[in-house]
Amino acid sequence: MDYYGKQMSKLIEQLSSLPGIGAKTAQRLAFHIIRMPKENVEQLAGAMLDARNNVRYCRECCTLTDQEVCPICSSPARDKRMIMVVENTRDLAAYERIGKYEGVYHVLHGAISPMLGIGPSDIRLKELVQRLQGDVSEVIIATNSSLEGETTALYISKLIKPTGVKVSRIASGVPVGGDLEYIDEVTLLRALEGRIEL
């Protein structure tokens, strides 16, 4: 049954089609948008259209940017000989929030998943291999600890090792504040294998 009329129902329907937005959240957002000043709604709509029309992949690292080369790749302060490979732009942002990594990135936009029909040619591996033709000393693989992330890391490692470029994998293990009794065996094993001397 249509409670609000066509326009409001259409807005709720469009909002609920976004990932992670259920019917109740879409309803809350729709009511919020309706109460916003008209200028703010126009700014929001304009920002969405501008982003959709102008955001593209960085020519070097494949992250999302509105420039040909993203701010990280164009920064003279970054060490371009060190490339961290991540699955998506959100992972890149997570490492940037730490503020300690001084190299550049390569965004795959996915992970190898034979179950989902995603192979090496479906993610941005070709672009990574092209970057290795330059002066690269290390590739840090920072894919997720999922089956797909591990498969992708292993594939990249086998792809890069013959080039002579150092390949490393981010450590994984027990999270800060985690109780050992609740941690799965694979995570505990990786924590043990990745131990450091104190």
Alpha helices in 36-165 (DSSP H): 38-54, 71-74, 89-98, 125-131, 147-160
Its CATH class, for the domain covering 78-192, is alpha beta
Q: Hey, how many other C-beta atoms are within 10 angstroms of the C-beta on 193?
A: 10
Give the pLDDT of the chain (198 residues) as one tens digit per residue.
467 778 999 999 999 999 999 999 999 999 999 999 999 999 999 999 999 999 999 999 999 999 999 999 999 999 999 999 999 999 999 899 988 899 999 999 999 998 899 999 999 999 999 999 889 999 999 998 888 988 999 999 999 999 889 999 888 776 777 666 777 777 777 777 776 665
- Domain residue spans in the chain? 78-192
Distances (CA, A) of 166 to 102, 110, 144, 145: 17, 23, 20, 20
Tell me if 87 sits within 8 A of 111, measured CB to CB: yes
Q: Which two tokens stand for residue 60?
A: 């070097």
Which residues are registered as beta bridge partners of 82? 138
Pair type for strands 64-65 and 79-86: unpaired
